[in-house]
Amino acid sequence: MPGLYKDEAVVLKTIKLGEADRIVTLLTRSHGKVRAVAKGVRKTKSRFGARLEPFTRVELMIYRGRKELDTITSADIISSFDVLRTDYRRLTSAAAVVELVEKITPDRERAFSIYALLVSALEALAEGRGGALVPAFYVKLLSVAGFHPQLSSCVGCGEQGPFGGFSPALGGVVCEDCWHEDDHAMRLTSTRVSLLAQLLAADFGTGHDDEDAHEITKVLRRYAEFHLERPLRSVHLLTN
pLDDT 10s digits, 81-123: 999 999 999 999 999 999 999 999 999 999 999 999 999 999 9
**3-80 and 86-239 agree in CATH topology:** no
Q: In what order do the strands lie in the sheet with 163-167?
A: 172-175, 163-167, 186-187
Contact 98, 54 (CB under 8 A): yes
Segment 6-11 shows an average pLDDT of 98
The residue extents of the domains of the chain are 3-80, 86-239
Q: How confident is the model at residue 42 (pLDDT cuts 50, 70, 90)?
A: confident
pLDDT at 1: 60
pLDDT at 44: 62
User: The domain 86-239: what is its CATH number?
Assistant: 1.20.1440.120
Asked if residue 209 has pLDDT above 90, the reply is no
Asked if residue 53 has pLDDT above 80, the reply is yes
Q: How confident is the model at residue 46 (pLDDT cuts 50, 70, 90)?
A: confident
Half-sphere exposure of 151 (CA within 13 A, CB side): 23
3-80: CATH, from 1.10.10.10, 3.40.1390.10, 2.40.50.140, 3.40.50.300 = 2.40.50.140
